[in-house]
Structure 1
């Protein structure tokens, strides 16, 4: 039966692999529970659907007014085909799609504004990021039948707006719209942020996460005398946010944006200025030199790995983020992580999310500690 309002669809998986990969997957399930709780308070959302392969998650949702769609065992998952199948099954015309680890800081009020905008439109796409989508609301949902369904949700905004020509509205870039949980550093970030939901906060409290280096690093965002180093796949929007929303100065090395989407990484063509310097001097001197450039550093380590022709296992990447080198199999990644830990300043390692939505959330967490200093750039009245 078609819904008269907006249908919220959350897709989240159980995850397999190493212990640390399962840890991240379970956090995403906790975020799903928080998203469901918020959605159930939003008047404009009249139906909540959760698509998952996790029976434990389905059991936790059993007593809530939620439609649960369990994946058939053994079937290969394809995002776009599953999305279209659920649109057809539930006769959805106004769809608010959220990935399982997406929008952990999005409030019920913000969800309501998105849903209400969708209710008042005949054709509209609202996305958190048009070029790499984590969540999107759109109508008519049936328009997806007119194109090849995307394999990944990151491509959804581009397909709907560029290929299918829906009018596009991109949401303002904030921690609430940009943070997406993909790696352990995102969990550490959530642990520091006061707006994390009760389910994920309870889950994080049960984990042995050492966030001392992160707590030490973020205090420099509110220090007028400090210099913070940020390196990796940093967008112009994130750079603007850093300049306007911190009290510190920022030394930025923006490298290899789009290295995966463009195929440069797969072809072995990724190149990094920091990577070339590390090649010349080794890990210890690299971090020693980096420590002379600022009081803290946030490093997208995947760019350096790609520069060296490496793409370590998810477990190795995640244990590097967690500063647990004894669990890392790859010799370079282990040594790199050890050297970062021994640096005289706090070095925060992570993936793309660290220097994207993670920075938005970490800056908010830093200011939430009670500092009251003017930012560097104050908007002119009337702008």
Structure 2
């Protein structure tokens, strides 16, 4: 596909140790993804947008056309404006945008299938998730320019381009590989347990020294007939269905606020959560004691709680929460939640949307050794 440009945007490494560790993991993931996509022969070139080349140096010797576009340090980063500038500056007509942590389990064959399907589309978009896109192919890419101001993050791209710009949309068939996104440390630890994880990514996660024991305890729970699991947050029906089909366990599901970012409900302060309301009513300690009465383990999308509470802490606090690194958490409310979770009488994993969606299915596949959703 001579006119297809692969665009990958990588964020800064950061200053805090947790940011640096996650930043390095994302850069390893981005390099692996770039190689797999370019191995299809379907993309003419790669544009790599990043604040610097640290941890990406191996791409300088890549056997395909690659252009660097380094972030300007004299202005604040705005995703939509940055994307529009890249499209104009590099004259991109057909675009495959892939977030740094998107689809780390996707094989070259998987990307070949995606790009073959996109080649048949003269106009429109193809994405892994219409409500929260992690990767998206768009033609014409110029359609994005008028809606750049509506794109605070990449997650809103598919929704805005379809609903507001009117581009025809196709959503790729669900698979763990196409839907999984590395956004937080718990996502990375889950991916490292998956049999399809690239070796370089496994090694990058191992180098952090993060404790995977909670992830492994959930894997054991998923293998144990009769175990009980609570899921709470933006739980999609397909993830729950995969769990019901493949694991002989009992589940309680509290699914709420799906699409809170793409719909801008979070931006408008409209997020509401029944689970968070109960947490407020009884306090964190009693909340987790109640979970212990209901289940042996819990996967909790606490980003819904954060939005409902009107507090969206810096990445360091979010990462520290996911790692149960209580002493690293600056926000006193979130620290209280995690302190209670550490003392809970059940195994708890906390994170974001991925944890209770593709991350859940990745855990299931890692536990059972079989595909649980596939192309």
Contact 2:266 2:307 in 1 (8 A): yes
Matched with 1:128 is: 128
Correspondence 1:6-155 to 2 at 5 A: 6-64=4-62, 65=64, 66-145=66-145, 147-148=147-148, 150-155=151-156
Shift of 1:308: 4.2
State the structure with more CA Rg: 1
Q: Distance in 2 between matches of 1:310 and 1:175?
A: 30
1:296 and 2:294 equivalent?
Answer: no
Shift of 1:366: 1.5
Contact 1:39 1:48 in 2 (8 A): no
Matched with 2:205 is: 204
- The change in CA–CA distance for 1:123 and 1:275 in structure 2 (over 3 A counts) is closer
Q: Distance in 1 between matches of 2:86 and 2:53?
A: 19
1:300-332 Cα distance to aligned partner (Å, 9 max, x none): 123334444443333222212101112222333
1:321 and 2:319 equivalent?
Answer: no
1:129-180 Cα distance to aligned partner (Å, 9 max, x none): 1121110112232333454453422222123323333322101222211111
Gaps spanning 5+ residues in structure 2: where? Answer: none
1:236-286 Cα distance to aligned partner (Å, 9 max, x none): 333333333433222101233344555655666544333333334333322
SS of 2:9's partner is strand
How many residue pairs align between the two structures? 370
Q: Distance in 2 between matches of 1:6 and 1:18?
A: 37
Q: Distance in 2 between matches of 1:312 and 1:21?
A: 13
SS of 1:181's partner is coil
Contact 2:194 2:363 in 1 (8 A): yes
Q: Distance in 2 between matches of 1:267 and 1:7?
A: 34
Matched with 1:381 is: none
Contact 1:6 1:115 in 2 (8 A): no
Q: Distance in 2 between matches of 1:58 and 1:284?
A: 43
Correspondence 1:268-279 to 2 at 5 A: 270-279=271-280
SS of 1:284's partner is helix
Q: Distance in 1 between matches of 2:220 and 2:86?
A: 45
Matched with 1:166 is: 167
- Cα RMSD (Å): 2.6
- The change in CA–CA distance for 1:303 and 1:159 in structure 2 (over 3 A counts) is closer
Contact 1:6 1:119 in 2 (8 A): no
- The change in CA–CA distance for 1:357 and 1:91 in structure 2 (over 3 A counts) is same
Q: Distance in 2 between matches of 1:16 and 1:23?
A: 9
Contact 2:27 2:56 in 1 (8 A): no
Shift of 1:111: 0.7
Correspondence 1:278-289 to 2 at 5 A: 278-289=279-290
Gaps spanning 5+ residues in structure 1: where? Answer: 379-383
